[in-house]
Each structure stands twice: as structure tokens, then as C-alpha cells.
Amino acid sequence: MIGLMQDWPLLCHKILDYAAIQHGGREIVSRSVEGPIVRTTYAQARARALKVAQRLERAGFSEGDRIATMAWNTANHLEAWYGINGIGAVYHTLNPRLFPEQIAWIMNHAEDKALFVDLTFLPLAEKIVPQVPTIRQVVVFTDAAHMPQTSLANAIAYEEWLKEADGDFAWKTLDENAACGMCYTSGTTGDPKGVVYSHRSNVLHALIASTPNAMGISARDVVMPVVPMFHANAWGLAQSAPMVGSKLVMPGGRMDGEAIWELLDGEKVSFTAAVPTVWLMLLQYLEQTGKALPHLKRVVIGGSACPRAMTEKFEKNYDVEVVHAWGMTEMSPLGSLCTMKPDYAGLTGEARLDIAQKQGFAPFGVEMKVTDDDDVEHPWDGRTFGRLKVRGPAVARAYYGGAGADQFDEDGWFDTGDVAHIDPHGYMQITDRAKDVIKSGGEWISTIDLENLAVGHPDVAEAAAIGIAHPKWDERPLLVVVRKEGRQTTKEELLEFFAGKIAKWWMPDDVVFVDQIPHTATGKIQKTTLRDQFRDYRLPTA
């Protein structure tokens, strides 16, 4: 027997329709690339998205075409996404922090047909676009007055381009399984791999993301996605904020502590999300200036492990709840969030911090298990760690073009490449990337644990642990440390700080101090580069 309910396809542009109807006057505030703060609304964004769709169709673009964007979080970028989706085309976010050759490779692989680009990245686009023969049109997010000279013959200012459309346009009717977005993961080895989102997966992800156990945002929130739209869909906020009618604050290209604080304070932001490096800058700015965060209620921190000291500072000094989250581009991206079940809700102090350090539990729509290398499932005992595998309606079932097929099994489980354990209440904790874990005497040492501990020291700005070859133990940990400005902590002091906090055999064999630690385009510590840098390093214990 088949249910007799309506077949209402889950389409992304229906989210913007809904926002315009129910929350039409709710603001979208952007720090524009040209400088000033620009205010618009969901109703206006929808009107302009319809123009984008109409203009794209007039220019000959159609369903399935990949339309690249290389842009900061702004209302322009948002309406372009929805406009692209509205003709059944596929937005393809490019991470401008990648090397130009890598971006060109990705664009050629996706066969992008057009590019929407911010002024900031026009010089980069001038280098890349000539290497991508499929690109027919470049649209620069600006108006005629700000449009610079460019070597790109097919470039036009966005506002000029939009003028040729009146917005009298109806969204295309599509299958909800049609592709709507693409994002390549910058794997640490091998070529980048393309993740292809569908309308259905994005809508379901937005629903899942806004539930109270996950991000828990509503029409009463002011949401600022600091995490870029080019980093795993801005963690779904470009869809879930309009879906629930939150006011949206788009920070544009300025990510420094002062700029972020100005928006948090001036726009009364209640909810924000980004990787730990952004919050490191904000917290330093707050410490230097003595400023506070009177409006901010919750901050979601993920992309890399959120250090315990960061959670503690936000909660103790600024009364802001930290929600630690884990996810992947392949998961749209949310996989787990550390909100509190009743089992943990009553905890305070160090006991609460112990839980807050975990990456949290999976929301509805994410199945999770931890296995050994032979796919035998480990118990949920909070100790036994192994390969973390996931499945669900917003999890990839393949990469574009069939790359990386060995990460997917026939039962639909995706091997994340992360190493984790799960506790009896379902709280997952990442201990490492499978490639980064330190293998010492047949046992594993968690680099994340060592790094978290190190940044808990008052003199340490950042730390990375890597395995160094050892004749007896196979590998032993080396701790690479960036000191805070003007601080002089020593190896001996640091190791003393570690003593008693970890198993003796986890103690780093050596500590080296450096001026900076390399990062990937999504703000993670670049372990491959560090390992190369210390390839010939001899540990004092070797």
C-alpha cells in the first residue's frame, strides 16, 4: 500500500521562497567586498535570485551546468546560489586558498561553464580562467563603478549583467534528486575529489541542521556563518538560516578579530560558526581590548578539534555556549554536534569540559559506527577507537567521476578516514585522521589529544604532534610548538605540564619551537608538509 500524501519535491529554491513569504522582511546584512555594510532582506534576495536564474537561462545555461563561484559570504553570493539552483544548474564553490593550478584542475574536472567571482579574487581568476576552456562567462560581484580593468574578455560586472533581467521568471521544476551543488575535498594526498550534493540532500541537511539537538537556530536568532560558503556549504547555514527565518549576517572577506567582533556586537549576533583558528583570533582580540560578547549565545566550532582551553574561555569569560561539531564535505557537512543529552546536561566544571571536548552525537539522518580494519564493529565504550564510518541521506554515495571508490562499501557505509571512539551515550570523539595517528610499539597515540593538551598551556599559541621514525618503537611523537608572542616557555616546562595528564608512553620524545605551523586551505594543520619538514629529524631518544 502506498501512502496518499503529496509528492512535494525537496528543492533548494523552495527554501528561499519560504523565507521570502514567511520572513520576507528579515535582514541579510553583508560586509561588502567594496567596504560598506549592505542591508537587504529575504524578499529582496529572492527577487534578485530570480533575476540570476532568468539571466543565466537567457545566456544559454541550463540544467546540470556547473557554475563556479569564488567568493566570500555575502548576500550576492547567496542569491547567486539560489538563482543557479533555480534553473537546475549546479553551484560549484571554489576555495580561493588553494593553489591556482589546483583550482584550474578542479574547474576542468567539473567542466565549469561560468564563474561568479568577488573583486578580491579577480587577479586569481585572471590566472586561472585562461586554463579552463569550458568557461564562457565571468560575472564579477560588483557594480559598473567598481569594475576594474581586467584581462578577462568575457567578464562583466554583476549589477550590469543583472540589469538585463526583470525577474519575471518561474523556477524550473526539477527532480529532487537532481544535483544542486559541488564542492571538492582537498585531500592531503592525490587529486581533489568532487562531492555532488542533490536538492534533496541539501534540504534534508538544512532540516537536520536546524533541529534543537544540532544547531538549534530559529526565527529569533541572528546567525553569522563565518565559515565560508566555499568550505563545505558554510556548514549548511546558507540553507538552514533562510529555512527558519534567522537574520543572516555575512562577514564578507574580513576575518580578523576586530571585524568579526564589530559584526557580532553591532548586529547583535546570537549564533555563529567557524573553525578554531578564527576563534583564536577573536579571543586574542577580546583579551587585548577588554571587549565582551553580550549578545552571542552559541558558537559552533568544528573543522578541526576545538581545544579545551577555547571552550573554557568562551564559556567562563564570555558566557557563550560552545557546541563542538564534526563533519566533512562528504556529509553536507554535519556529522555530529556536542549538545548535551540529559545524561550530561547536569555536569559542570572540568567534567562538563571533558564532554565538550568530544565531537558529540549524530543527529537523526546520520548513522555512525567505529570498526577495526576488518570492518568488525567496536563497542560503544568511549575507549576502543577505530575507523569511523557513516551513512545517511546527506552523505555522499560516490565521488564525481568515480574517484575514491574504495571509501564506500556495498552497504552504503562511507569510511571517513577519521579514527574515533563512541561512548555509551553515543558521543563520538575523534582521536585522529587515520593518516596522522602515531604508531608506537604497535599501539596508537592520538595527535589531537597531545595538541589539545599543549594549547592548554598559557604560553602556547598553536601546537602540532607528528610521528617521527624511531628504531625501536617504529614511531614516537614530536611536538611542534608556536609560542604566544613574547613568551619563552621551554621543552622542559612543557613536558612537566604534560606529566600526569597523559599516559607516560604518550609523552612527546621532543619539543621544537617554530614561528608558524602550515595550514591547509580549510584551516587545518597541514601534517603532510610538517612531516616533510621534519623528515630527517632525529629524536634524542633514537
Residue closest to ligand AMP (Cβ): 329
> In angstroms, what CA-CA distances link 285 with 260, 291, 388?
10, 8, 36
Candidates 145-153, 222-230, 300-308, 312-320; binding stretch for ligand AMP (CB under 6 A) = 300-308
Q: Is 429 among the residues that bind ligand AMP (CB under 6 A)?
A: no
Least spacing, CB of residue 28 vs ligand AMP, in Å? 24
Catalytic site includes residue 93: no
For the CA atoms of the chain, what is the radius of gyration?
Answer: 23
Least spacing, CB of residue 299 vs ligand AMP, in Å? 13
Q: Is 477 among the residues that bind ligand AMP (CB under 6 A)?
A: no
Least spacing, CB of residue 261 vs ligand AMP, in Å? 23
Beta-carbon contacts of residue 183 (< 8 Å; ≥ 6 apart): 92, 93, 194, 195, 197, 230, 232, 233, 329
> In angstroms, what CA-CA distances link 280 with 271, 273, 287, 486?
17, 13, 11, 17
Among 28, 71, 117, 305, binds ligand AMP (CB under 6 A): 305
Candidates 40-48, 123-131, 152-160, 411-419; binding stretch for ligand AMP (CB under 6 A) = 411-419
Among 159, 267, 418, 449, binds ligand AMP (CB under 6 A): 418
Candidates 92-100, 125-133, 365-373, 414-422; binding stretch for ligand AMP (CB under 6 A) = 414-422
Candidates 77-85, 279-287, 319-327, 506-514; binding stretch for ligand AMP (CB under 6 A) = 319-327
Binding to ligand AMP (CB under 6 A) within 320-339 occurs at 324-329, 333
Q: What three-state secondary structure class fits 101?
A: helix
Candidates 93-101, 114-122, 154-162, 301-309; binding stretch for ligand AMP (CB under 6 A) = 301-309
Least spacing, CB of residue 467 vs ligand AMP, in Å? 17
Residue 7-36 contact track with ligand AMP, rule CB under 6 A, x = bound: ------------------------------
Q: Is 431 among the residues that bind ligand AMP (CB under 6 A)?
A: no
> In angstroms, what CA-CA distances link 174 with 67, 80, 243, 245, 397?
17, 18, 19, 24, 21
Q: Are strands 474-483 and 460-470 parallel, antiparallel or unpaired?
A: antiparallel
Least spacing, CB of residue 189 vs ligand AMP, in Å? 14
Where b means 16+ CB within 10 Å and e means fewer, 243-269 reads: bbbbbbbbbbbebebebbbbbbeebeb
- Sign for the CA dihedral angle at 103, 274, 29, 24 comes to positive
Least spacing, CB of residue 355 vs ligand AMP, in Å? 14
Closest CA to 331 of 495, 209, 470, 158: 209
Alpha helices by DSSP H, 66-131? 75-86, 100-110, 122-128
Closest CA to 426 of 308, 337, 329: 337
Query: 122 or 390: whose CB is closer to ligand AMP?
Result: 390
Query: 247 or 324: whose CB is closer to ligand AMP?
Result: 324
10 Å Cβ neighbour count for 320? Answer: 20
Of 79, 159, 176, 330, catalytic: 330
Least spacing, CB of residue 185 vs ligand AMP, in Å? 5
Q: Is 303 among the residues that bind ligand AMP (CB under 6 A)?
A: yes
Q: Is 357 among the residues that bind ligand AMP (CB under 6 A)?
A: no
Query: 395 or 430: whose CB is closer to ligand AMP?
Result: 430
Least spacing, CB of residue 371 vs ligand AMP, in Å? 16
Residue 175-204 contact track with ligand AMP, rule CB under 6 A, x = bound: ----------x-------------------
Cis (ω within 30 of 0) for the bond into 424?
A: no
Q: How far apart are CA 183 and CA 531, in angstroms?
A: 27
Which amino acid, one-letter code, is at 40? T
Q: What does DSSP assign to residue 95?
A: -
Q: How far apart are CA 200 and CA 287, in angstroms?
A: 43
Least spacing, CB of residue 523 vs ligand AMP, in Å? 9
Of 444, 451, 462, 522, catalytic: 444
Least spacing, CB of residue 61 vs ligand AMP, in Å? 28
10 Å Cβ neighbour count for 486? Answer: 6
> In angstroms, what CA-CA distances link 322 with 266, 283, 364, 388?
21, 13, 21, 23
Among 216, 253, 302, 404, binds ligand AMP (CB under 6 A): 302
Output the DSSP codes for 264-288.
Answer: HHHTT--EEEE-HHHHHHHHHHHHH
Q: Is 430 among the residues that bind ligand AMP (CB under 6 A)?
A: yes
Of 40, 185, 416, 520, catalytic: 185
Catalytic site includes residue 377: no
Catalytic site includes residue 287: no
In the beta sheet, which residues pair with residue 101? none
Query: 49 or 328: whose CB is closer to ligand AMP?
Result: 328
Q: How far apart are CA 249 and CA 264, in angstroms?
A: 9
Among 522, 527, 530, 539, binds ligand AMP (CB under 6 A): 522
Where b means 16+ CB within 10 Å and e means fewer, 402-421 reads: ebbeebbeeeebbbbbbbbb
Beta-carbon contacts of residue 475 (< 8 Å; ≥ 6 apart): 438, 439, 440, 467, 468, 469
Q: Which residue has the cell 549576517?
A: 249
Catalytic site includes residue 161: no
**How many residues lie near ligand AMP (CB under 6 A)?**
20
Q: Is 233 among the residues that bind ligand AMP (CB under 6 A)?
A: no
Residues with active-site annotation: 185, 330, 439, 444
Residues within the interface to ligand AMP (CB under 6 A): 185, 232, 302-305, 324-329, 333, 359, 416-418, 430, 433, 522
